[in-house]
Amino acid sequence: MSVPERAAAGSGYFADYEVYVMGEAVAWGQITLGCATEAANRDPAGLIRRLRQAAADQHGVDPGEVRLRQVFRL
């Protein structure tokens, strides 16, 4: 039986997202964010804010218009 690998400190996160403007899906994509696993475990809401902000920056929209569909630890 195989043993799961431990996440390296400083690995990161991957998110799949959609961008909605006025109720309409206008964009979608994926984004990665490098951060220490321990830091994300201490502040999961901050991790979500950072992922949404990074996706919003890519599309020039407000972070409130970004819907994270899935988030994975790398």
Q: Check if the beta carbon of residue 4 is closer than 8 Å to that of residue 22.
A: no
> Predicted confidence band at 3 (pLDDT cuts at 50, 70, 90)?
low
pTM over the 0.95 mark = no
Per-residue pLDDT at 74? 86
pLDDT digits (tens, 9 = 90+) for 26-39: 999 999 998 876 77
Residues 6+ apart with CB under 8 A from 32: 12, 13, 14, 15, 74
Distances in Å between the Cα of 17 and the Cα atoms of 27, 32, 42, 54, 59 are 9, 11, 23, 11, 12
Other CB atoms within 10 A of residue 44 CB: 10
Q: Mapping DSSP to helix (H, G, I), strand (E, B) and coil, where does residue 14 land?
A: strand
